[in-house]
Amino acid sequence: MAEQGSRLDSSLPVFTPDVKRMGGVYLGDSSPPLYSSSARRSLFLRVSAAFFAGFLICLAVVARYTSNQSCLPFSALSALLPMDVGTPEWHQYPPAEPTNAFPSAFPSNVGYPGPTQAGAEPGVAATAPAYPLHSNDFNIFRSWGSSSPWYSIPRGKFGVDSSPEAPDTCNITGVHLLHRHGARYPADFVSGTGPAGFASRLNKNAENITVTGPLSFLDNWTYKLGSEGLTPFGRSQLFDLGVSMRMRYGFLLKNFSDTNSLPVFRTDSQTRMLDSAHNFALGFFGYPLEGQYQQEIMIEAKGFNNTLAPYRSCPNNDIPYIGYRGAPPADAWKAVYLRDTVHRLQRYVHGFDLEVRDVYAMQELCAFETVALGYSKFCELFTQKEWEGFDYSYDINYWYGLAWGSPIARAEGIGYVQELVSRLTQTPIETHNTSTNATLHNAVTFPLGNSLYVDATHETVVLNVLTALNLSSFAAMGQLPTDHIPKRRTFRSAELAPYATNVQFQLLSCSTEPDPQIRVIVNDGVVPLANLDGCQHHPDGMCSIHAFVDAQKENIRSTDWNFVCNTNLTFPDGWKTTTGYPV
């Protein structure tokens, strides 16, 4: 009892100062948080602190945004105040009797939740050991590829020296948000692979295994992860994303009050997707949700057309790493960067021959246990270089499997692009010949002319969509080598597809531009659009909506879903692509 009490004492009181310290670091120069080598605290607290830091950034952005848009410029303070200074401004939302409310068109249970397995209850307060601390600027939370929690991309990182708040000369007239679910338990592992495969191999051989040194914790280690579902931390990511989007874009709800209607948000039927959408809505609208918006739940299951889960209706998607022969491309890289690690860790295990897949699974366990349980003893086993190798293994996987290096990525993303164009032009889709579902494309469940759209999906689909949109600055590094990490890395899964990754299609009306404009903002990083036909280099990354739509119509015309998904694609030896298309 006394011992437990002292452990609590050593971790809980540091929470507040830590938040402030990390918040300060983030706000000051947007560099990653530094770990003091003397501090001893649990990873859970660090994750929370990183969170609050993200939240503070958001507040800062909002504050800046507000001062740009509606505060008096300082130079005006010596003049007489305008007549309306200090008058109250109140917005009534939601409208009391919205004309588009059709609860029967939005069933709250459409089935197809997919399988999930609950995990063990976390208990960091009682069980977290001290966390291994780093004193340089390496950030382990950003080195887990798509298993990293999302964070704001530093200004300029994607090549546009601008930030998410509207330029002074522009008003925001709409936003279309596409986001991923939050942190989850392991998913989609073929049995025998991944963290669970490692755990069962260990368990099967347990009677003969002895562990020493840094691996002695395995003596008492149990496998506590569930599968597929959202973790408690994942839940908070979506809630926080909802809060932050309300603070950025809440004013767009005035359009709905004006037109006496409710927004429609969309998600998939899978448990983690539906849970993510609800948590986002709770952050955005607050509890209770009734009467504030309508939630479309699109069935995610084999054979169903669904632009937020297009792989379910694309048969060629079932061929793993289609276009590439032999083992998955990332396997070669794992063998390179983990070769020495296997030998290093083998010294502490007797009676069990470690393989690359076991050591890789231990790295995955660090990432998964951290977001599920709040800490992981596996994290401290690896060096910074090994984490960088792990991070890069995700990039290879995703490049060749889901993005510019995959022959089917563009077709899989094109259905969402059609929907985006349909919304931007307020024109229904003519022919449903991709992953779109004609049944759902009606004025109730796919409204046109709204100022705010929110769609929840998977990281795989976010990458498919970025590929289909031809945002090729991310592909500028070319094919990803599997024997070393290149210096120039324009495609990073931790930046593009982390947990709760979010893409804001921001619509603007600017005094400096004759036409309505669009910007694409990925995790707060403004993406260049200049490579799109008809778009120009622009300091804030804008393109006229008209030109953007024309370029996307060209992408739609040149992407044949049926050919990509339903025909026997053949690939000559040495075949590769950087356009996400087979030819």
Compare residues 168 and 188 and give the one whose CB is closer to ligand NAG: 168
The three-state secondary structure class of 169 is coil
Residues numbered 61 to 80 that lie near ligand NAG (CB under 6 A) are none
Kindly state the smallest distance separating residue 484's Cβ from ligand NAG, in Å: 25
CB of 62 to ligand NAG, least distance (A): 18
87 binds ligand NAG, rule: CB under 6 A:
no
Residue 440 touches ligand NAG, criterion: CB under 6 A:
yes
Report d(CA 144, CA 163) in Å as an integer.
25
Q: At 390, list the tokens.
A: 């792990």
Distances (CA, A) of 170 to 151, 224, 534: 26, 50, 21
Annotate 471-516 with DSSP letters as a single string: -GGGGTT-SPPSSS--S--S--HHHHSSBT-EEEEEEEEETT-SS-
Which of 453, 420, 456, 394 has the alpha carbon at shortest distance from 179?
Answer: 456
Q: Does 432 bind ligand NAG (CB under 6 A)?
A: yes
- For residues 409 and 465, give the distance between their C-alpha atoms in angstroms, rounded to a whole number: 8
Residue with tokens 């499997």, as numbered in its chain: 401
Which candidate, 417, 542, 516, 508, places its Cα nearest to that of 470? 417
Nearer to ligand NAG, 262 or 494 (CB): 262
- Cβ 439 to ligand NAG shortest distance, Å: 4
d(CA 583, CA 571): 9
Q: Residue 89: helix, strand or coil by DSSP? A: coil
Residue 106 contacts ligand NAG per CB under 6 A? no
Q: Does 391 bind ligand NAG (CB under 6 A)?
A: no
Tokens matching residue 494: 């931790």
Compute the distance between CA of residue 580 and CA of residue 583 in angstroms, rounded to an integer. Answer: 9
Per CB under 6 A, 216 contacts ligand NAG: yes
Site string for ligand NAG, 462-501 (x = CB under 6 A): --------x-x-----------------------------
Choice from 439, 514, 573, 574 touching ligand NAG (CB under 6 A): 439
Between strands 170-180 and 502-510, the pairing is antiparallel
Give the SS3 label for residue 462. Answer: helix
Using CB under 6 A, which of the segments 26-34, 149-157, 323-331, 430-438 binds ligand NAG? 430-438
Which of the ranges 52-60, 83-91, 224-232, 435-443 carries the binding residues for ligand NAG, by CB under 6 A? Answer: 435-443
- Which stretch, 284-292, 321-329, 338-346, 449-457, contacts ligand NAG (CB under 6 A)? 449-457
Residue (of 379, 44, 413) closest to 233 by Cα position:
44
Within residues 154-173, the interface with ligand NAG by CB under 6 A covers 169-171, 173
Residues 263 and 452: beta-carbon distance below 8 Å: yes
* AA identity, residue 137: D
CB of 403 to ligand NAG, least distance (A): 14
Residue 38 touching ligand NAG (CB under 6 A): no
Based on CB atoms, which residue is closest to ligand NAG, 28 or 557?
A: 557
Binding mask 499-518 for ligand NAG (x = CB under 6 A): ----------xxx-------
- Window 238-257: residues binding ligand NAG (CB under 6 A): 255
Q: How far is CA 541 from the centre of its chain?
A: 21
Contact status: 203 vs ligand NAG (CB under 6 A): no
Asked if 552 and 493 touch (Cβ cutoff 8 Å), the reply is no
| In the complex, least distance from residue 48 CB atom to ligand NAG, rounded to whole angstroms | 26
Strand, coil or helix: 31:
coil
Q: Is 109 near ligand NAG (CB under 6 A)?
A: no
What's the min distance (Å) between Cβ of 376 and ligand NAG? Answer: 15
Question: Could you give the CA distance from residue 56 to residue 279 in angstroms, rounded to a whole number?
Answer: 20
- Single out the residue of 243, 355, 554, 575 in contact with ligand NAG (rule: CB under 6 A): 554
What residues make contact with ligand NAG under the rule CB under 6 A?
A: 110, 169-171, 173-174, 205, 207-208, 216-217, 219-220, 255, 299, 304-305, 313, 429-434, 436-440, 449-451, 470, 472, 509-511, 531-533, 551, 554-555, 557, 560-561, 568, 570
